């Protein structure tokens, strides 16, 4: 199978590096793509489940823009709604009526939502949720899960990271995922001081197997939090609407006080949302929080159409089933070459790892080989499935997976 | 945080360690030290200690004060040691008074060469041999600084608690020089040379690129994306190690 070259990518990257910090920064940085030279960095066009880089290489995209693409690049229904709204108004003086319509739709869609607040990015609403929790409880401390990711505000980042001061983290306590005794201890050691517990609905760190909640985990967390007056913030930025249209707390059977949505809301149009219960509406209204583009109408119109479409077709079920079929086939192919391809997390956003080499180097090489053949796989982060991924994509991906395993088997023989 | 204590550890265990490579790879210094048979203990009250040994044409610099020494140099405090490294103080000899001539005339030739190699300028860096030696010593200094930062720097301690156990290999290609750092339960030990089964690897394409990268003249993300530096394995080990290396500048430049 032919493998791709990235001459134009490297050329443009060198231009980028002269005028942009890191060349490409943040989660789009090529640094965690191992080896970076196996990957495209710049996408010139996209359609459905596919992207094309500036070298003209075509990829089945299993990162979906790290989550925002959910119903296919260039989805005609979503794009039409956005374009219709763009002709009327986008970022203008005065609030667009579609904002109310979207809020009404989301409060109907999401059982735990009595109100909705819109922003742009996931970190906007995780930060706002914590501010509301602090305002409502008049407490300062936050519990989070070690390895959890809630954005890039200083309190969310790791100690020792550049620009993060010791004081930024002093009110953030970390507990292990699925560790009820550890959670109980953190609560009892800080009784009356903890405002909230912020967590993704299941644990999806980078560079590590993803973990679902143990039987009864969320229910026990809920019991402790209710007893202690601690609010539950669900960071559903990544998993939201890829497990359940009512939010992932519905999937796992617990009640979230505040829930953060973003990625799958509008199929790539920039919008995020915080939903909350009636009892927190007053606190939310007292916390001043806003942004220049948070009232833009186009993403709201896109979100309304996208969510309606996802609800209509039961998008989470489609993505979970597509993912399962894809992954089952891949695991079988891996096994035929003597490799154990471990899948963890939800099949609509799986994390994969070849267990034969605990250093991940073999897995990284295999992901690079797949990407060079046209299936864009990252080795450090969970992937994303969309409703646009179809049978043809799955079959093509299996062919690529097979050829990539063949290549690494040829290189390493029975070393692993 | 005890600034001087951390700095003394870096001076003694990361900077002074480079005498080994100067005595091996600088031909003039190799000749100078080839006949030396002497050992010097550096003892710091309330601080680190190290022993420099010259024997059989080889120099070793190891932590601790095990065994006999020809010369013992005493420092009243970590700050006193640091002042000596800055050229602003002298040690107190406790043993080896008959070898004061060696200390005042011969040994400084080697330590002056250390300063020479670690204080580059643009002109010096155009010399291939100088570039190679500066690069070698910079990589050594980085590797041996990591355990010191973990031991003494409060932020370093927090960062190290997140590093999984395993060994990081840092290599300058093609087969120029390697170091490895083994992390275990929040502590670290550095060694020169390669390792068979690293958990994570950082490879720099050549000496010149390695020099730019290690001295911060090339942005790490850019170097990695362009393939000038390649990384693989447990990347969080490298991410966190990079944060530890960034702490060195708080103490020494």
**Any idea what the CATH number is for the domain that residue A290 is in?**
3.40.640.10
Interval B237-252 mean pLDDT: 94
Q: Is B204 in contact with B229 (CB distance < 8 Å)? A: yes
B141 and B25 in contact (C-beta within 8 Å)? no
Residue of chain B whose Cα is closest to the Cα of A26: B221
> A51 with A129, same domain?
no
| Mutation site for A-interface testing, chosen from B221, B229, B233 by largest number of A Cβ within 10 Å | B221
The mean predicted confidence, pLDDT, of chain A is 97
Asked if B3-118 and B124-250 have one fold, the answer is: yes
Q: Which one of A284, A313, A342 terminates a domain? A: A313
The pLDDT value recorded for residue B67 is 86
A334 with A258, same domain?
no
Bridge-based pairing of strands B229-233 and A341-344 is unpaired
Q: How many residues does chain B have?
A: 253
Q: Which residues of B42-81 are buried (b: 16+ CB within 10 A; e: fewer)?
A: bbbeebbbbbbbbeeeebebebeeeeebbbbbbbeebbbb
The beta strand positions in B1-70, using DSSP E, are 38-44, 49-55, 58-63
Residue A364: list chain B partners with CB under 8 A: 232-233
Query: For the residues A333-347, what does the mean pLDDT come to?
Result: 98
Contact call for residues A384 and A69 (beta carbons, < 8 A): yes
Task: Give the whole-number percent of chain B exceeding pLDDT 70.
Answer: 100
In a domain? residue A33: yes
Q: Do B200 and A359 touch (CB under 8 A)?
A: yes
Nearest to A302 by CA among A149, A85, A13, A121: A85
> Is the pLDDT reported for residue B98 higher than 90?
no
Q: State the helix-helix crossing angle for B78-85 and B3-10, rounded to 10 degrees.
A: 50
Predicted confidence band of residue A159 (pLDDT cuts 50, 70, 90): confident
**pLDDT given for residue A63 in this prediction:** 98
Q: How high is the pLDDT of residue B101?
A: 87
CA R_g for chain A: 22
Hey, are the CB atoms on B232 and A380 less than 8 Å from each other? no
Burial of B93 (0-12, 13-18, 19+ CB in 10 A): middle
If you count residue pairs, one on A and one on B, with CB atoms under 8 Å apart, how many are there?
Answer: 88
Write down the number of H helices and E strands in chain A. Answer: 12, 13
Is the previous residue joined to B174 through a cis bond, with omega within 30 degrees of 0?
Answer: yes
Name the domain count of chain A. Answer: 2
Give B-chain residues touching A24 at CB under 8 angstroms: 221, 225
Phi and psi torsions of A255, nearest 5°: -105, 120
Asked whether residue A113 falls in the same domain as residue A36, the answer is: no
Over residues A88-104, the mean pLDDT reads 97
Superfamily of B124-250 according to CATH: SCP2 sterol-binding domain (3.30.1050.10)
* B3-118: CATH number: 3.30.1050.10
Q: Does residue A163 belong to any structural domain of this protein?
A: yes
Residues A354 and A401 both lie in one domain = yes
A363 and A237 fall within a common domain: no
A34 in B contact zone (CB under 8 Å): yes
Selecting from A21, A158, A359 the residue whose C-beta is nearest the C-beta of B234 gives A359
Which of B222, B229, B237 should we substitute to test contact with A (largest number of A Cβ atoms within 10 Å)? Answer: B222
Last residue of a domain, one of A260, A294, A313: A313
Task: Check B198 against A364: CB less than 8 A apart.
Answer: no
**Closest residue by Cα to residue A261 from A414, A406, A363, A122:** A122
Residues of B in contact with A358 (CB under 8 A): 199
A110 belongs to a structural domain: yes
Phi and psi at A43, nearest 5°, equal: -105, 125
Provide the pLDDT for residue B1: 55
Residue A25 in contact with partner chain B when CB distance is under 8 A:
yes
Contact across the interface for A158 and B162, Cβ inside 8 Å:
yes
Nearest partner of A272 among A249, A248, A238, A242, judged by Cα: A238
- Domain holding A371, by residue range, is 7-61+315-412
Note whether B243 contacts A160, CB cutoff 8 Å: yes
- Write out pLDDT tens, residues A196-239: 999 999 999 999 999 999 999 999 999 999 999 999 999 999 99
Q: How many Å from the N-terminal Cα to the C-terminal Cα in chain A?
A: 23
Backbone angles phi, psi at B74, to 5 degrees: -110, 140
> Which of A115-129, A153-167, A362-376 has the lowest average pLDDT?
A153-167
Same domain, A306 and A324: no
Of A13, A162, A358, Cβ closest to residue B225: A13
In a domain, A127, yes or no: yes
Partners of A23 on chain B (C-beta within 8 Å) are: 219, 221-222, 225
Going from the C-alpha of B37 to that of each of B15, B32, B100, B112, the distances in angstroms are 22, 12, 15, 20
Q: Residue A358's domain is classified under what CATH number?
A: 3.90.1150.10
Per CB-CB distance under 8 Å, the chain A contacts of B224 are 30-31, 36
Residue B200 to residue A380, Cβ atoms within 8 A: no
Domain ranges of chain B: 3-118, 124-250
pLDDT in tens, B209-238: 999 999 888 888 889 999 999 999 999 999
Q: Looking at A157-171, A181-195, B173-187, which range is the least confident one?
A: A157-171
Alpha helix positions (H), A48-201: 76-88, 97-109, 122-137, 180-189
pLDDT for residue B253: 72
Of A397, A382, A390, give the one whose Cα is nearest residue A342.
Answer: A382
Note whether A42 and A95 are same-domain residues: no
* DSSP-assigned letters across all residues of A195-211: EEEEE-SSB--SSS--B
> Can you tell me the distance from the alpha carbon of A216 to that of A198, in angstroms, rounded to the nearest whole number?
18
Asked if the peptide bond before residue A35 counts as cis, ω within 30 degrees of 0, the response is yes
Q: Residues of A with CB below 8 A from B225's CB? A: 13, 17, 22-24, 29-31, 36, 41
Rounded to the nearest angstrom, the minimum Cα separation between B140 and chain A is 23
Indicate if A40 and A133 belong to the same structural domain: no
pLDDT score for A266 = 98
Q: What is the pLDDT of residues B5-31, one digit of tens each?
A: 999 999 999 999 999 999 999 999 999
Question: Nearest CA to A258 among A289, A234, A282?
Answer: A234
Same domain, A320 and A290: no
What pLDDT is stored for residue A138 in this prediction? Answer: 98
CA geometry: angle A24, A370, A58, nearest 5 deg: 65
């Amino acid at each position: 199978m032919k493998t791709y070259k990235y001459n134009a990518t490297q050329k443009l990257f060198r231009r980028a590096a002269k005028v942009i910090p890191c060349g490409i920064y943040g989660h789009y940085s090529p640094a965690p793509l191992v080896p970076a030279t196996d990957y495209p960095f710049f996408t010139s066009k996209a359609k459905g489940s596919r992207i094309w880089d500036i070298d003209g290489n075509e990829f089945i995209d299993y990162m979906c823009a790290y989550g925002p693409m959910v119903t296919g690049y260039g989805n005609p229904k979503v794009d039409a709604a956005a374009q219709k709204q763009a002709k009327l108004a986008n970022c203008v003086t005065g609030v667009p009526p579609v904002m109310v319509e979207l809020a009404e739709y989301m409060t109907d869609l999401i059982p735990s939502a009595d109100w909705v607040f819109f922003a742009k990015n996931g970190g906007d609403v995780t930060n706002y949720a914590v501010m509301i929790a602090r305002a409502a409880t008049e407490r300062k401390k936050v519990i989070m899960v070690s390895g959890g990711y809630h954005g890039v505000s200083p309190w969310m980042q790791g100690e020792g990271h550049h620009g993060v001061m010791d004081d930024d983290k002093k009110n953030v306590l970390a507990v292990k995922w699925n560790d009820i005794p550890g959670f109980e201890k953190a609560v009892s050691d800080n009784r009356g001081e903890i405002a909230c517990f912020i967590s993704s609905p299941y644990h999806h760190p980078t560079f590590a197997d993803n973990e679902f909640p143990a039987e009864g985990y969320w229910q026990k967390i809920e019991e402790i939090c209710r007893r202690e007056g601690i609010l539950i913030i669900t960071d559903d930025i990544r998993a939201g609407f890829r497990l359940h249209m009512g939010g992932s707390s519905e999937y796992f059977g617990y009640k979230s006080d505040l829930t953060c949505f973003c990625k799958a809301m509008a199929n790539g149009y920039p919008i995020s949302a915080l939903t909350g219960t009636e009892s927190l509406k007053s606190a939310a209204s007292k916390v001043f929080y806003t942004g220049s583009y948070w009232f833009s109408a186009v993403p709201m119109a896109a979100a309304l159409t996208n969510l309606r479409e996802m609800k209509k077709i039961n998008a989470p079920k489609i993505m979970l089933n597509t993912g399962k079929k894809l992954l089952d086939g891949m695991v079988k192919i891996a096994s035929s070459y003597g490799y154990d391809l471990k899948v963890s997390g939800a099949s609509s956003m799986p994390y994969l790892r070849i267990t034969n080499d605990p250093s991940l180097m073999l897995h990284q090489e295999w992901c690079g080989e797949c990407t060079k053949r046209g299936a864009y796989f990252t080795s450090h982060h969970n992937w994303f499935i969309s409703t646009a991924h179809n049978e043809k994509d799955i079959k093509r991906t299996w062919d690529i997976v097979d050829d990539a395993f063949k290549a690494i088997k040829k290189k390493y023989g029975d070393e692993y | 945080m005890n600034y001087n204590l951390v700095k003394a550890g870096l001076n003694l265990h990361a900077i002074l360690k480079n005498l080994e490579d100067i005595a091996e790879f600088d031909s003039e210094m190799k000749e100078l030290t080839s006949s030396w048979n002497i050992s010097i203990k550096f003892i710091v009250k309330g601080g680190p200690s190290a022993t420099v040994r010259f024997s059989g044409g080889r120099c070793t610099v190891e932590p601790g004060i095990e065994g006999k020494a020809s010369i013992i140099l005493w420092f009243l405090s970590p700050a006193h040691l640091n002042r000596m490294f800055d050229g602003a103080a002298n040690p107190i000899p406790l043993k080896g008074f008959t070898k004061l001539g060696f200390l005042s005339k011969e040994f400084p030739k080697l330590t002056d060469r250390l300063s020479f190699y670690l204080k580059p300028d643009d002109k010096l860096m155009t010399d291939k041999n100088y570039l190679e030696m500066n690069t070698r010593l910079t990589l050594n200094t980085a590797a041996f600084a990591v355990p010191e930062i973990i031991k003494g720097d409060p932020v370093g301690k927090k960062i190290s608690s997140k590093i999984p156990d395993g060994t990081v290999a840092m290599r300058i290609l093609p087969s120029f020089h390697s170091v490895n750092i083994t992390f275990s339960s929040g502590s670290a030990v550095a060694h020169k040379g390669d390792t068979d089964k690293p958990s994570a690897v950082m490879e720099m394409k050549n000496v010149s690129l390695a020099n730019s990268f290690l001295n911060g003249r090339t942005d790490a993300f850019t170097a990695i994306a362009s393939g000038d530096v390649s990384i693989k394995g447990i990347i969080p080990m490298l991410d966190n190690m990079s944060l530890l290396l960034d702490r060195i500048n708080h103490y020494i430049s």
